[in-house]
């Protein structure tokens, strides 16, 4: 689209430059943030620090990827943080306590792999339940997932009466060791969680751009009625979308529990807000239908880098919150400015043709 523009008038006008800056704003913001922090704190871009930051980013990015699908359909998922906590507790409990089968008088300790699968399935199921409630009973996504936020957090606490499952490394004689590898292990010198983020992002990118399902997601956010009349299965698509978010949340729950080698019931508290912020920063419209996985990834990096950088500079945590909040609102304001400018430019182009 842009190339046609450039071809017609070789000379760059001011509006062209404005457009370019506005479109790439998330990326520009990321670079700016990096430059500022590097100049203020020289150790900012040291290899060790990059690894730490990437690990933080990966967690938020995974949640934000799931959230992107939901927001593209025009929905919202407030339950991701709680599902993170619940899956962490479930995985921790399975390792430390196993599955107690009283009628046989035995305790089964599932293999670590099986624990991962069970936890992921549970998170997916929680998402699917939200999706089902939203579509079957026509409950607003905000309310349905708000309910799920409380329910999942409650279960996370109930699992061990509010206590932490500590030292979840398993026992060799039970054959359930190795859970900590997920958080600590690395491949080619890069932490597994970063690999997982990369793989999830790639798959999500392909799904949103190349699969019919992805297109249905966009169409629901753009014009739900038109999508339905075209034969898009609204209920099914939405339930899958919420399941994806649940799956991503469960993955994050496992990663955090593994990194800490412990499962705490408050794990993931208020993570949903970070995820939503990353999605919005990445240019995805909360009204649905507009946005991309790439944008979300950049958004997650901006938030992560901003957070870690401010910590390194010794900015108080209260100021960190103020700055983060201002950045998010500012990003959305710019988003609106860009939308209006694009409309104006489209109008001018049409009138030029006539």
Partner 1 sequence: MSVMPPILDSASNLTLSAEDNGVILSAQNITKIFPGTVALDDVSFNVYKGKVNVLIGENGAGKSTLMKILAGVERPTHGKIQLDGRDIHLKSPLDATRLGIGIIYQELNLCANLSVMDNIYLAREIRKNGLIAQKQEKQQTTELINRLEQKIDPDTLVGDLRIGQQQIVEIAKALAQDVRILIMDEPTSALSASEVEVLFRVIRELKSRGVAIIYISHKLEELLQIGDFITVLRDGKKVAEAEASKVNVSWLIENMVGRNPAALFTRKERQLGNILLKVEELTLPRPGGGYILDHISFELRAGEILGFYGLMGAGRSDLVDCLAGAKPQTSGKVWLNGELVVTKTISERIQSGFVLVPEDRQKFGLVQTLSVMDNMLLASLKNYLKGVFLAHKKEKESTAHQIKELSIRVANSQQPITSLSGGNQQKVVVAKGLLTHPKVLLLDEPTRGIDVGAKSEIFEIMNRLAGQGYGVVFVSSELKEILAMSDRILVMSKGAITGEFTHSEATEGKLVAASAVGHGPLSGNKPQGTGK
Q: How far is the CB of 213 from partner 1 (least distance, A)?
A: 9
Lay out the site mask for partner 1 across 315-354 (x = CB under 8 A, - = otherwise).
----------------------------x--xx--xx-xx
| Count of chain residues binding partner 1 (CB under 8 A) | 30
Q: How far is the CB of 354 from partner 1 (least distance, A)?
A: 6
Among 2, 230, 321, 336, contact with partner 1 (rule: CB under 8 A): 230
Among 42, 172, 231, 314, contact with partner 1 (rule: CB under 8 A): 231
Among the listed ranges 130-138, 211-219, 254-262, 296-304, the one in contact with partner 1 (CB under 8 A) is 211-219
C-alpha span between 46 and 187 (Å, rounded): 20
Q: Does 223 bind partner 1 (CB under 8 A)?
A: yes
Sequence-separated (6 or more) residues with CB below 8 Å from residue 70:
76, 77, 141, 241, 242, 245
Among 158, 226, 337, 339, contact with partner 1 (rule: CB under 8 A): 226
Among 33, 196, 227, 303, contact with partner 1 (rule: CB under 8 A): 227
Among 159, 216, 238, 264, contact with partner 1 (rule: CB under 8 A): 216
For partner 1, the closer of residues 171 and 349 by Cβ is: 349
- Whole-number Cα distances in Å, 214 to 104, 219, 300: 47, 9, 21
Q: Does 211 bind partner 1 (CB under 8 A)?
A: yes
C-alpha span between 31 and 97 (Å, rounded): 47
Lay out the site mask for partner 1 across 233-262 (x = CB under 8 A, - = otherwise).
x-----------------------------
Task: Identify the helix (H) or strand (E) that includes residue 186.
Answer: strand 186-187
Among the listed ranges 20-28, 40-48, 194-202, 224-232, the one in contact with partner 1 (CB under 8 A) is 224-232
DSSP 12: P
Among 45, 212, 311, 339, contact with partner 1 (rule: CB under 8 A): 212
Long-range contacts of 200-209 (CB under 8 A, 24+ apart): 200/61, 200/62, 200/65, 200/248, 200/251, 201/61, 201/65, 201/293, 201/297, 204/65, 204/68, 204/69, 204/293, 205/293, 205/294, 208/68, 208/69, 208/72, 208/292, 208/293
For partner 1, the closer of residues 8 and 187 by Cβ is: 8
Lay out the site mask for partner 1 across 152-191 (x = CB under 8 A, - = otherwise).
----------------------------------------
C-alpha span between 15 and 19 (Å, rounded): 6
Q: Does 14 bind partner 1 (CB under 8 A)?
A: no
C-alpha span between 86 and 263 (Å, rounded): 9
Q: How far is the CB of 212 from partner 1 (least distance, A)?
A: 4
Among 215, 269, 327, 338, contact with partner 1 (rule: CB under 8 A): 215
For partner 1, the closer of residues 134 and 168 by Cβ is: 134
Q: How far is the CB of 166 from partner 1 (least distance, A)?
A: 44
State CA 57 to chain mean position distance: 10
Q: β-strands 99-101, 262-263: how paired?
A: unpaired
Sequence-separated (6 or more) residues with CB below 8 Å from residue 155:
86, 89
Contact 246, 125 (CB under 8 A): yes
Query: What is the per-residue burial (b if ≥16 Cβ within 10 Å, else e) of 330-347?
Result: ebeebbeebeeeeeeeee
Q: Which residues bind partner 1 (CB under 8 A)?
A: 1, 206, 210-212, 215-216, 218-219, 221-223, 225-233, 289-290, 343, 346-347, 350-351, 353-354
């Amino acid at each position: 689209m842009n190339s046609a523009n450039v071809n017609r008038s070789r000379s760059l006008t001011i509006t062209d430059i404005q457009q370019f800056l506005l479109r790439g704003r998330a990326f520009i913001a990321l670079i700016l943030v990096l430059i500022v922090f590097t100049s203020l704190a020289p150790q900012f871009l040291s290899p060790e620090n990059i690894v730490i930051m990437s690990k933080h980013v990966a967690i938020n990015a995974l949640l934000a990827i799931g959230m992107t699908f939901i927001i593209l359909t025009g929905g919202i998922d407030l339950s991701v943080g709680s599902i993170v906590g619940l899956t962490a507790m479930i995985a921790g409990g399975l390792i430390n306590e196993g599955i107690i089968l009283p009628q046989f008088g035995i305790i089964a300790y599932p293999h670590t792999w099986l624990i991962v699968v069970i936890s992921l399935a549970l998170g997916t199921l929680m998402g699917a339940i939200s999706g089902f409630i939203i579509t079957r009973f026509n409950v607003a996504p905000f309310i349905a997932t708000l309910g799920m936020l409380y329910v999942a957090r409650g279960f996370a606490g109930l699992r061990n009466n509010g206590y932490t499952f500590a030292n979840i490394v398993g026992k060799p004689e039970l054959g359930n060791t190795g859970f900590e590898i997920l958080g600590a292990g690395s491949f080619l010198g890069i932490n597994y969680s970063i690999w997982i983020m990369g793989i999830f992002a790639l798959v999500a990118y392909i799904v949103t751009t190349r699969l019919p399902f992805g297109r249905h997601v966009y169409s629901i956010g753009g014009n739900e009625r038109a999508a339905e009349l075209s034969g898009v299965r609204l209920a099914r698509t939405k339930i899958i979308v919420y399941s994806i978010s649940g799956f991503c949340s469960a993955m994050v729950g496992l990663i955090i529990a593994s990194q800490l080698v412990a499962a705490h019931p408050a794990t993931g508290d208020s993570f949903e807000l970070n995820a939503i912020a990353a999605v919005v920063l990445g240019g995805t419209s909360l009204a649905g239908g507009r946005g991309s996985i790439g944008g979300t990834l950049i958004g997650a990096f901006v938030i992560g880098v901003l957070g870690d950088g401010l910590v390194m500079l010794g900015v108080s945590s209260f100021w960190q919150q103020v700055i983060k909040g201002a950045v998010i609102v500012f990003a959305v304001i710019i988003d609106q400015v860009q939308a209006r400018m694009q409309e104006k430019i489209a109008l001018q182009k049409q009138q030029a043709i006539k």
